[in-house]
Copies of this chain bind each other. A is one copy, B any other.
Amino acid sequence: MKFLIGILGPTGTFSETAAVSWLKRKGHGKSETENVEIKYYETIFDVTESLLRKEVDYGIVPIENSLEGSVGETLDVLSSENDEVGMRIVGEVLVPIKICLLAKQNLSFVKIKKVVSHPHALAQCKQFIRGRLKGVELKSVDSTAGAAKMASQSEEIAALASEEAAWKYHLNIVEENVQDKDSVTRFVVLSRGDVKTAPTGKDKTSALIYLKKDRPGALYDVLGEFAQREINLTKIESRPSKKAMGDYMFHIDCEGHIEEEKIKEALESVERKVARLKILGAYPMA
């Protein structure tokens, strides 16, 4: 049996680190009869489209970083109105973001003329760049792995990218852990809507709610359904409904599995109070 995972490419991104970590945890690809293949896409939207078109069995996409906050594109594809049963979150993976300075040879810092990376990685290494790479030219590219690829083609370019990217593009790690502050990125594993994950005893349920109208206390009422049942919300995040300024949807994660009685009850009560409730998935906590 062959099974396919779609992620943001090219090879060597932090998404690949997430995919490898999830595969390991699940024990996938270890048996001789199971063949795992990773397919690379340019955008988060493309990853989810390929999942809906059944080109891949799973999609793994970043949803939030502990410094930068949520990844809007991922929240938006999850909330798509055309997709009541299309996709489901079946897992999550936490990846510590270790950024390394990579170059073709063991470049001394004085020889580096240009540093390339994804804008987020450049932002996360601001102090390092100011302190140790003062005056070098900075260039933003679409991914940290793309930056590593560029560095592999020039003697004067260094990339800020993952350790995995160093292996993939045969680069030296000039310095590791150059991020100003440590952070963790949370990825979600998506599958199609007909896939369900059984309760494990330590699960999370993700849902999307759209309130009926903007009246005092509407959100308070909804949160009450969780609080009264002592259900812990691990996350609540607003996203524009895209209808008007000031009109939001809420992404909510709670501890527990939707098949547990109190979670089911809470969500049923919430459903009666809101204009839209979409269960995004129930899955083991990372």
Contact = CB atoms under 8 A, between A and B. Distances in A.
A232 B240 CA distance: 18
Interface stretch (A28-36, A98-106, A143-151, A220-228): A220-228
Nearest to A186: B245
Given A69-B240, A240-B68, A240-B69, A233 B245 contact: no
B220 A224 contact: yes
A216 interface: yes
Contacts of A221: 227
A216 B236 contact: no
Contacts of A217: 223, 226-227, 230
Interface string A133-152: 00000001000000000000
A238 B240 contact: no
A65 B220 contact: no
A66 B239 CA distance: 9
Q: Is the interface of A mostly helix, strand, loop or mixed?
A: mixed
A242 interface: yes
A230 B244 contact: no
Contact of A236 (B140, B234, B238, B240): B238
A181 interface: yes
A215 B240 contact: no
B245 A232 contact: no
Q: Which of A64, A67, A69, A244 neighbours the largest number of chain B CB atoms within 10 Å of its CB?
A: A69
Contact of A233 (B70, B94, B216): B216
A220 B225 CA distance: 10
Contacts of A244: 66, 184
Given A140-B140, A216-B226, A244-B66, A235 B234 contact: no
Q: Which of A140, A181, A237 neighbours the largest number of chain B CB atoms within 10 Å of its CB?
A: A237
Contacts of A125: none
A224 B67 CA distance: 29
Interface of A: 64-70, 72, 94, 140, 181, 184, 186, 214-217, 219-221, 223-224, 226-227, 230-240, 242, 244-248
3 pairs of A and B residues whose beta carbons are closest in the complex: A217-B227, A220-B227, A66-B245
15 contacts: A65-B240, A66-B240, A68-B240, A69-B70, A69-B72, A69-B240, A216-B227, A216-B230, A216-B233, A217-B227, A219-B236, A220-B226, A220-B227, A221-B227, A236-B238
